[in-house]
Amino acid sequence: MKYIYIKAMNARQERVVKLLDEIYPQARIALKYKSPWQLLVAVVLSAQCTDNIVNKVTENLFHKYKTLDDYFNADIGVFENDIRQTGFYRNKAKNILKAANLVKTKYKGLVPDNMKDILSLPGVARKTANVVLGNAYNVEDGIACDTHVIRISQRLGLVNINKVGGRKKIMFNKNNQNIIDFIKDADPIKIENQLMEVLPRNIWFKITYQIIDHGRNICKARNPKCNQCQLNDFCPSSRI
Ligand code: SF4
């Protein structure tokens, strides 16, 4: 792995990054898709919803809506019903169908492959943009800060917890001391910017999925399994 720093990681952070790479060498996106457009739809649907439910919904959705025109011509009420299971379906339906319109009329039927244009699509903020650009086009222009990345980058001290914004401090007790575990409503943009400063650009894409896998398997929000965690010796938030 070749490191290209803006601000060098300290030795502990380097060890954490190396271990994540060793533990989760095959980490990848869990959403199923066959085109950049399908990926965009799946990522929009994944907000506040598990990837498993999204994959179940898109299995039928992608069968029913085969082309971009099928979305362009869709009836919003019917479409809402088709994605209802993913939650926040009214907003998601509105954004997806408006995005289909824009992709067809402004971008010649192709999901944009650059940050500026993809951010112009309704319902697409930096997290969605990073996921789509990285997976569909191999464009690493940032780090997708989902709930796992927000939590674990703080716990692992990859970002400075005093500079991530937010107010909802989640605490835990260790040796009769109350310690800030992470800030739940931290600003994803501040976290992304700090991660982009400290992590080498060539691992931005891969480490996103390594952190997500770690969050799903071990470093869970409520009860992190610190006694099973291979990062334990290097984690400032370890509970053991
Ligand atoms: S030691 Fe605990 S808090 Fe730290 S990364 Fe592992 S599971 Fe998460």
State the distance from the centre of ligand 1 to the C-alpha of 44, rounded, in angstroms: 29
User: For ligand 1, what atom is nearest to the CA of residue 232?
Assistant: 1
Measured from the Cβ of residue 207, the count of other Cβ atoms closer than 10 Å reads 23
Task: Give residue 8's pLDDT.
Answer: 79
Task: Among 218, 220, 234, say which to mutate for ligand 1: greatest number of ligand atoms within 8 Å of CB.
Answer: 218
**Distances in whole angstroms, Cα of residue 119 to Cα of each of 22, 101, 126, 187, 223:** 33, 15, 7, 18, 35
Q: What does the alpha-carbon distance between residue 122 and residue 37 come to, in Å, rounded to a whole number? A: 13
* 218 close to ligand 1 (CB < 6 Angstrom): yes
Task: Give residue 5's pLDDT.
Answer: 54
Pair 54, 86: CB distance under 8 Å: yes
* 156 close to ligand 1 (CB < 6 Angstrom): yes
Measured from the Cβ of residue 4, the count of other Cβ atoms closer than 10 Å reads 9
Task: Give residue 50's pLDDT.
Answer: 95
> For the chain, which ranges sit under pLDDT 70?
1-7
**Distances in whole angstroms, Cα of residue 99 to Cα of each of 69, 77, 111, 150, 176:** 12, 16, 9, 27, 52
State the distance from the centre of ligand 1 to the C-alpha of 63, rounded, in angstroms: 40
